Structure 1
């Protein structure tokens, strides 16, 4: 029986439609000439075909695919581009051709670069607007780096669709006036470039009110947060922190400036975390306020991590939770360390250095020092110098917290003649190895 007649179908529909299950024995029918040598996965095809189901002619999609193939896109690349923007097959072929040509002639991109641009998210821009104008701005702004543009494009392809004169340039001007460099700007969320400039200007003003100076290195992070939270919500959360932690608004502004994401937490989450810290550490709210003001990031630590670290420190140092509260009060950042980090440092300080747990408990600053790059290397160097009689007894804390240049001057440079190769050996130790000749 001859197959039923078929209506014309666009090439895109042919290769976007999920393939029917093959019959058990007869061979598959040959591919029609309207089907391009390109295909998508079943899920991709199903999603994409819904967007172009209105097409009834193969001429338009075939012409668009021919233009895209002209820049050297492979079958798989064509599928990826079409999957990212199926509506591209509905665009006027002459518009697509003209815009692709402008990328060559006006912007100076090679065919492989045009292909990478399309794959990175530029297909929609080629369909919608004069994309060459956007790239003529972005590439020089980025110091001529096409690679940087691709990275930004993958994060948000709207940056090559938004109006350059009315949106992109005014927003970038605001960022630069705020003290941000090009290097800072390219790391910002892409949606900030495409916001209404008045909204971005309001975010800049709000950032200043939240205690972040325009020249601060945290400005780019604060701007992205301020753009996603209303002034009313930000103000309410800051007032809540002030009243709950019994601290001034100046201190709250300092917290926000140090960790901008703190104002993205709901009042319910803030209350829950503060109450959990207070009960877990057995500390009054005033002490929790001091800790949060000093290291606001502890509000972002999960309750499970806080509980585990607190119990581990109490067990490893053989002390009560009240003692842990005193230690954390001095250095709240301890709560952010991993159990493995805490365990290795305590083991080293007790077994290698010979410190008592009570002493470690009273000197939490030791936990802020890198075990591999500071504590171990310095201890080995001092032990060698002591063994050779070149120095008298030295308190571990004294040399552990010295600035690097001061430690080198006192313990390396002064003894480099007595111990040849001491500086090189110290560098080797810092890399995780202890030379045999320096073993005490």
Structure 2
């Protein structure tokens, strides 16, 4: 609008007013720009509520991954928070729901599903039709039953998703003799399913075969120590050399046991154990070599166990060091469940003239429980009717101060 400007001066002279065409704002200038911004923001919100696919005017809450993991996958809140960190890209439960249905069809329980998701959260992102169902069909073609496949998923769900699992199983199942044997090894070391077959596993198997081990021996060796197949070939070669160094030649019946005994033991630890055996049993270097060659696993026995064995066999039974060195199988027996109870029986029978003096304790210690009872307990039922009762007490650790005749 036009506004007249009074240009009168203090001198009293009147000057004609000048009319200026100045636009008049109904609000402050800065408020104008602020309102423009607020208006734009309001339009964005409105677009989000109405133009973003939300017909009701309000968008649904975003997919809460952690809550879903607790409610549908049976994870604990702590487990869910941890797993949700790798699943933050999930925007809906559609894929997880399909995967859970697949796992349920395999026969997995709620606890199994929870264990699988904790181990491999990304399994929930798998395409059932493109990945999981085809893998299931391939495993069935290998002859695996649904229950076996379910157990395989539990061992390593991440490997189950990958196509390489088929070629691995085609190699391992014949090597281990059965899927059950392989599964037992996988429980100790699932890296069998991820190790390089051509550059690691097969060279190790070839070396073990060169040592005179058949597939059955390799399976027996690798079920308790599956790392023998997945370690670098150079490391396995060093283990073979150490097994030979303790006095067990390749091709011998005890070589598998020697390899198991020295597996992942350093030369220093083996040398220290040899010195301990010499000191504890008063053995010479040659006697240690004899004992280790016959019972390589003695290198794995704890110092405490070996001390208790030496005290019993040498101090109580009265056996000579050389005698023990040539019969180290006694060291593999349980002290409380076999050696002590049978020694007390043999001692009792000899003291009462019920057993020939030349009948050795070693013989009594080596036979099976059934044979021991038949040869050392039952024949003396009339002469020593309490013998069976007293022997049973010793097996429970309740050693009588003196076995009773009546």
User: TM-score w.r.t. structure 1 length?
Assistant: 0.62
- The answer (yes or no) to whether the contact 2:262–2:270 under 8 Å persists in 1 is no
- The answer (yes or no) to whether the contact 2:350–2:356 under 8 Å persists in 1 is yes
Q: Matches of 2:130 and 2:386 in 1, distance apart?
A: 63
Displacement of 1:361 after TM fit? 0.6
Q: Matches of 2:66 and 2:218 in 1, distance apart?
A: 53
CA distance 1:178–1:425, shift in 2 (3 Å): farther
Q: How does 1:204-283 map to 2 (within 5 A)?
A: 204-208=169-173, 211-221=175-185, 224-233=190-199, 234-241=201-208, 247-248=211-212, 251=214, 254-255=217-218, 258-259=221-222, 260-279=226-245, 281=246, 283=247
Alignment partner of 1:323 is 2:284 = no
Which residue number corresponds to residue 338 of structure 2? 374
Alignment partner of 1:296 is 2:259 = yes
- The answer (yes or no) to whether the contact 1:373–1:430 under 8 Å persists in 2 is yes
Q: Matches of 1:351 and 1:375 in 2, distance apart?
A: 14
- The answer (yes or no) to whether the contact 2:99–2:124 under 8 Å persists in 1 is yes
Q: Matches of 2:326 and 2:348 in 1, distance apart?
A: 27
Choose the corresponding residue for 1:406, options 345, 349, 371.
371
CA distance 1:412–1:220, shift in 2 (3 Å): same
Q: Matches of 2:383 and 2:216 in 1, distance apart?
A: 53
CA deviations on 1:160-217 (whole Å, 9 max, x unpaired) are: 44445554566567388357747954762343333x1x311111122146x3212452
- The answer (yes or no) to whether the contact 1:134–1:164 under 8 Å persists in 2 is yes
CA distance 1:120–1:423, shift in 2 (3 Å): farther
Q: Matches of 2:258 and 2:204 in 1, distance apart?
A: 17
Q: What secondary structure sits across from 1:434 in the alignment?
A: coil
Q: Matches of 2:81 and 2:392 in 1, distance apart?
A: 45
Displacement of 1:140 after TM fit? 6.3
CA distance 1:148–1:435, shift in 2 (3 Å): farther
Q: What secondary structure sits across from 1:93 in the alignment?
A: coil
CA distance 1:185–1:319, shift in 2 (3 Å): same
- The answer (yes or no) to whether the contact 2:291–2:325 under 8 Å persists in 1 is yes
Range with bigger deviation, 423-432 or 339-348 = 423-432
Q: How does 1:106-255 map to 2 (within 5 A)?
A: 115=77, 118=80, 121=83, 128=90, 129-130=93-94, 131-139=96-104, 141-142=106-107, 145-164=109-128, 166-168=130-132, 174=139, 177-178=143-144, 181=148, 185=152, 188-194=155-161, 196=162, 198-208=163-173, 211-221=175-185, 224-233=190-199, 234-241=201-208, 247-248=211-212, 251=214, 254-255=217-218
Q: Matches of 2:253 and 2:197 in 1, distance apart?
A: 26
CA distance 1:165–1:356, shift in 2 (3 Å): farther
CA distance 1:372–1:165, shift in 2 (3 Å): farther
Tell which structure's C-alpha radius of gyration is larger: 2
Q: What secondary structure sits across from 2:155 in the alignment?
A: coil
CA deviations on 1:84-108 (whole Å, 9 max, x unpaired) are: xxxxxxxx834338984x986xx7x
Q: What secondary structure sits across from 1:177 in the alignment?
A: coil
Q: Matches of 2:274 and 2:305 in 1, distance apart?
A: 14
CA deviations on 1:59-99 (whole Å, 9 max, x unpaired) are: xxxxxxxxxxxxxxxxxxxxxxxxxxxxxxxxx83433898
CA distance 1:253–1:113, shift in 2 (3 Å): closer
Alignment partner of 1:391 is 2:349 = no
Alignment partner of 1:341 is 2:282 = no
Displacement of 1:405 after TM fit? 1.9
Structure 2, unmatched stretches of 5+, are: 1-59
CA deviations on 1:265-293 (whole Å, 9 max, x unpaired) are: 223323434444555x3x48x35976443
Structure 1, unmatched stretches of 5+, are: 1-91
- The answer (yes or no) to whether the contact 1:292–1:298 under 8 Å persists in 2 is no
Q: Matches of 2:115 and 2:302 in 1, distance apart?
A: 32
Q: Matches of 1:288 and 1:336 in 2, distance apart?
A: 22
Q: Matches of 1:135 and 1:416 in 2, distance apart?
A: 64
- The answer (yes or no) to whether the contact 2:83–2:121 under 8 Å persists in 1 is yes
Q: Matches of 2:66 and 2:366 in 1, distance apart?
A: 65
Alignment partner of 1:93 is 2:61 = yes
CA distance 1:387–1:288, shift in 2 (3 Å): same
Displacement of 1:421 after TM fit? 5.7
CA distance 1:352–1:266, shift in 2 (3 Å): same
CA distance 1:115–1:302, shift in 2 (3 Å): same
CA distance 1:98–1:241, shift in 2 (3 Å): closer
| RMSD of aligned Cα (Å) | 4.1
Matched residue count = 333
- The answer (yes or no) to whether the contact 2:204–2:229 under 8 Å persists in 1 is yes
